[in-house]
């Protein structure tokens, strides 16, 4: 199975820029708010070292490779963690590691799900999605507004508003839909 890159050489400048913003939004949703990017990198190395020590990576390590990797990674991390402690950012690294251990690597699953759905529609339609397409991609069926289903309609409308706010935060546009009654 061949993995196709998100940003393709045949994409136009506008589509390429839109996809770059999607990637940035996915990263932000995955890692959450981080004061310093170096803390995320250090936490990632610590988590990887922990996994290698427990041999959770699914790789077959020879004892020499395993010992060599652990030694070199620990030798690099020690001064970096000392520097982080001196700068007062060690608590953020600990918070990141704790969150990853508890909740997994995705900090904000709701936002991440919205951005992934947005990217899926972009890949399929080659344009920003309509809000209805995005709702369908997320598996949200918006009912027609009637007197009998006002609560259900308001609930879905509230979810739509949250989706719009998420896209606005990351400067991801929606395509303009047809307005008014269908003919």
Asked whether residue 174 is domain-assigned, the answer is no
Total domains in the chain come to 2
Domain stops at, among 86, 103, 120:
103
CA distance 170 to 167: 5
Asked whether residue 128 is domain-assigned, the answer is yes
Q: What is the mean pLDDT of residues 136-160?
A: 80
pLDDT at 8: 74
Query: Do the Cβ atoms of 44 and 6 come closer than 8 Å?
Result: no
Asked whether residue 152 is domain-assigned, the answer is yes
Q: Please tell me whether residues 98 and 154 are part of one structural domain.
A: no
Query: How many CA atoms lie within 13 Å of 40's alpha carbon, on the beta-carbon side?
Result: 13
Domain stops at, among 68, 84, 103:
103
Q: Does the pLDDT of residue 2 top 70, yes or no? A: no
Q: Please tell me whether residues 76 and 22 are part of one structural domain.
A: no
Whether the CA torsion 59, 62, 63, 68 is positive or negative: it is negative
Domain stops at, among 85, 103, 121:
103
Q: Please tell me whether residues 61 and 44 are part of one structural domain.
A: yes
Q: Please tell me whether residues 98 and 117 are part of one structural domain.
A: no
Indicate the pTM of the whole model.
0.63
Q: Please tell me whether residues 84 and 125 are part of one structural domain.
A: no
Asked whether residue 80 is domain-assigned, the answer is yes
Q: Does residue 183 or residue 124 have the better pLDDT? A: 124
Domain that holds residue 160: 13-27+108-169
Query: Do the Cβ atoms of 167 and 114 come closer than 8 Å?
Result: yes
Q: Please tell me whether residues 73 and 91 are part of one structural domain.
A: yes
pLDDT at 130: 87
| pLDDT 10s digits, 3-41 | 667 777 777 888 888 888 888 888 887 777 667 778 888
Q: What is the mean pLDDT of residues 117-121?
A: 89
CA distance 170 to 156: 22
Q: Please tell me whether residues 98 and 80 are part of one structural domain.
A: yes
């Amino acid at each position: 199975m061949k993995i196709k890159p998100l940003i393709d050489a045949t994409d136009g400048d506008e589509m390429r820029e839109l996809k770059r913003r999607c990637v940035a939004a996915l990263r932000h949703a995955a890692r959450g708010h981080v004061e310093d990017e170096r803390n995320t990198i250090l936490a990632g190395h610590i988590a990887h070292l922990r996994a290698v020590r427990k041999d959770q990576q699914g790789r077959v390590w020879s004892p020499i490779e395993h010992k060599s990797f652990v030694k070199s990674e620990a030798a690099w991390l020690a001064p970096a963690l000392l520097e982080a402690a001196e700068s007062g950012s060690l608590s953020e690294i600990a918070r990141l590691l704790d969150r990853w251990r508890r909740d997994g690597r995705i900090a904000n699953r709701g936002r991440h799900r919205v951005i992934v759905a947005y990217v899926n529609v972009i890949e399929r339609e080659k344009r920003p999605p309509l809000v209805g397409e995005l709702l369908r991609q997320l598996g949200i069926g918006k009912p027609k507004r009637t007197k009998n289903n006002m609560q259900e309609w308001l609930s879905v409308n509230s979810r739509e508003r949250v989706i719009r706010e998420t896209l606005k935060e990351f400067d991801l546009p929606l395509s303009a839909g047809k307005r008014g009654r269908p003919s």
